[in-house]
Amino acid sequence: MAVNQEKSYPSEEAINELKNNSITTVNSKEELFNLSIQTMDKAALIKNQATGALYFYDATKANENDGFYILNGWTLIGYQDKIIATLAGLKGDGTNEYLLLNKILNTCSKKNIALDLAGLTIHTSNLIASGNLKICRTWRITTL
């Protein structure tokens, strides 16, 4: 006797409700910082990041802010083994290389996390970094 084992999928309404109840979408870091305490048990998506950076709130890190990996307790999700330069805001177009790359290198060194330069070509003044640095993927840095 054959048994009909039809798969049951959640409705679109149920999926949207789950998204609405588990991920808060904001347009900027500033909006992220202004979220209410009730929101802090959710994840937050910053829409204007290059690939849509997703963060979760960790109250033990509320006083930490390196500008991209930890933002006043909001910690980047899914990148505990490396920091992707484009997620951190690096564009590779000459508009923000020196200050941001220096900050990224210092964070990677401090946290002993690899930096993925995402194939960018970066034009910057001389940088000095210390500690353990691991840079992965194809990249090129030229000095001005």
What is the pTM assigned to this prediction?
Answer: 0.56
- The pLDDT-based confidence of 63 (bands split at 50, 70, 90) is very high
**Mean model confidence pLDDT for the chain:** 74
- Cα 108 to Cα 47, 82, 88, 98, 121: the distances in Å are 24, 8, 11, 15, 19
The Cα–Cα gap between 17 and 51 comes to 23
Question: Which is nearest to 76 in space by CA: 45, 98, 38, 48?
Answer: 45
Please name the residues in contact with 95: beta carbons below 8 A apart, sequence gap of 6 or more.
none
Please name the residues in contact with 88: beta carbons below 8 A apart, sequence gap of 6 or more.
67, 68, 69, 100, 104
Taking 60 as the threshold, does the pLDDT of residue 7 lie above it? no
Under DSSP, is residue 134 helix (H, G, I), strand (E, B) or coil? coil
Taking 90 as the threshold, does the pLDDT of residue 133 lie above it? no
